């Protein structure tokens, strides 16, 4: 930044401060400091990594709670299965890329996607009929 400041002052024919004065003004009057990457300690980097892991864990926790809740509900529903009650489970999985042509430019320009939709009839013990539709 000092080089840019010095160049700007020279182009405008203004006097400019020395590097030491420039740095002192930024550090003490404006309370700014510029760090080199080498000055960042390993402890500081480990602290950042730990905080990011905790943040991910906090963001992932509601997903795990929902997964556990739906698993319990699925087991409760399986217990209610009889001649008058049926339980079905649906799952739309990630899209499958299907290459059609042998030419790579054709493949990358037209990428058709197939969606794998699974339908499952649940029984008290194990699975009943499973249907998979593309």
Q: Is there a single domain that holds both residue 27 and residue 75?
A: no
Q: Which two tokens stand for residue 3?
A: 């080089």
Output the pLDDT for position 93: 76
Q: Is there a single domain that holds both residue 13 and residue 51?
A: no
98 CA to centre of own chain: 25
Closest Cα to residue 93, out of 65, 63, 134? 134
pLDDT digits 0-9 by tens, 96-129:
766 655 666 666 666 667 778 888 887 767 667 8
pLDDT at residue 21 tops 80: yes
Q: How many helices (H) and strands (E) does the chain have?
A: 4, 5
Q: Domain count for the chain, please give it.
A: 2
* Reported confidence tier of residue 42, pLDDT bands at 50, 70, 90: confident
Q: Is there a single domain that holds both residue 45 and residue 27?
A: no
Q: What is the pTM assigned to this prediction?
A: 0.42
Q: Is there a single domain that holds both residue 52 and residue 23?
A: no
């Amino acid at each position: 930044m000092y080089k840019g400041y010095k160049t700007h002052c020279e182009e405008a024919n203004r006097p400019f401060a020395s590097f030491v004065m420039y740095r002192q003004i930024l550090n003490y009057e404006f309370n700014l400091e510029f760090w080199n990457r080498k000055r960042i300690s390993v402890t500081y980097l480990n602290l950042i990594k730990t905080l990011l892991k905790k943040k991910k864990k906090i963001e992932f926790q509601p997903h795990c709670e929902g997964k556990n809740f739906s698993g319990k509900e699925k087991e409760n529903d399986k217990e209610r299965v009889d001649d008058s009650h049926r339980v079905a489970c649906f799952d739309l999985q990630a899209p499958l890329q299907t290459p059609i042509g042998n030419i790579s430019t054709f493949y990358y320009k037209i990428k058709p996607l197939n969606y794998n939709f699974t339908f499952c009839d649940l029984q008290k013990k194990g699975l009943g009929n499973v249907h998979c539709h593309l």
